[in-house]
Structure 1
């Protein structure tokens, strides 16, 4: 190993986990949550009965604390194991962070129980809203330069008609 390492990596190593891969992906997830996602109050923890390193963090300063489970993408995970983690960590909602060997990570949120799928009518309505949103955003982008030119021309006309405004600048 190197003579120096990131303090968080050293701390994660000292939690009690003996699995080097789990330590590495926990550190990678920690850095991603802190530096890339810029989450708040990121903490690493270890559950001895599960032999699992997990992280807790808030997406924003005022959002609730969430649990993140770093998991090697090469390892299979069963629903029973997920349920066991939810029970042991006392959380109905967990975010599994599947980490690939190339450092790619995918976040997958799991919640206890089944969620009823949206009805066909709800799906159609959602799709219509999304299409309308995309259409409006497109119109805004198309007209942004026109709006800017209009705003600057109004501002210049006001300063020409009222010289006191331009003298106060």
Structure 2
């Protein structure tokens, strides 16, 4: 099997089934096939998938290397959406590496790109993740602010998110008056 799309799909299926070593092998084969076909975006997508597998497997150095390569490739190709997705994959990796400032910057960059291209739900999810990270790091007010901003971006928040958004609005009315 040397069709890069088929290799990619097989890798995704294996990853979803939890067969990560086999998925990694398929993604690496797909990377080689995409590179042979001069499909730079396909190759960048496989680097992103390889990075995610490495991250899930706890191989932080390999994950960071693959994800950063994919981010740069998407940036060079002008694919802002996938550049932001790669940044979104890098941020939790930086957290696991205790590089919290780098994680904050990475989340900020990803959310800004998602906002810029009109991907409000993805911007919201990114801001919520960034807010939770800040809250867990002891930056409670920053975390709540980011989480609240993220909630405003979501087109279909969960019931829990709707309740939290209502409570945050109530807090603002109580603190600052108004309706």
1 or 2, which has the higher strand percentage?
1
**Larger Rg, first or second structure (1 or 2):** 1
Higher RCO (C-alpha 8 Å, min separation 6) = 1
TM-score normalised over the length of structure 2: 0.25
